[in-house]
Amino acid sequence: MKIISVPLSDDALHRLGCNESESGDLNEIELDDAQFQLLWQSGLFDEFNDKLGVLIDDYEDESVTDIEKLKEAFCIANAYRGIHSGESVFQTISELVSVAIEKRTGIFFYF
């Protein structure tokens, strides 16, 4: 199971770190194999890795919590959203990053 999560408050962020999330704490997407492969093959995760200094990879957990890096992630996600406008998963990723910026929490990749 591959999940991308965004805590919706500081308390939710803390509970996520303690693996004690409650209902309503997270905005998240569970990626099926086809969605993950589409994202992987598009180069989105490679660009996140290169530009944000993270390691999003299969069988890895990673997060982006720095607000400046989240803003950069939003620009990257929006570019891929435009290129892949027919694929809703790119829109969802862009929206998740936007929520992370708005809530000032982060985006967490559990792969």
Topology adopted by domain 2-110: Hypothetical protein yfbM fold (3.40.1760)
CA distance 107 to 109: 7
Q: Is 48 exposed, middle or buried (0-12, 13-18, 19+ CB in 10 A)?
A: buried
Q: Which residues, including other chains, have CB under 8 Å from residue 80's CB and lie 6 or more apart?
A: 42, 43, 44, 47, 90, 93, 94
pTM of the model: 0.93
Tell me the pLDDT tens digit for each residue of 23-79: 999 999 999 999 999 999 999 999 999 999 999 998 889 999 999 999 999 999 999
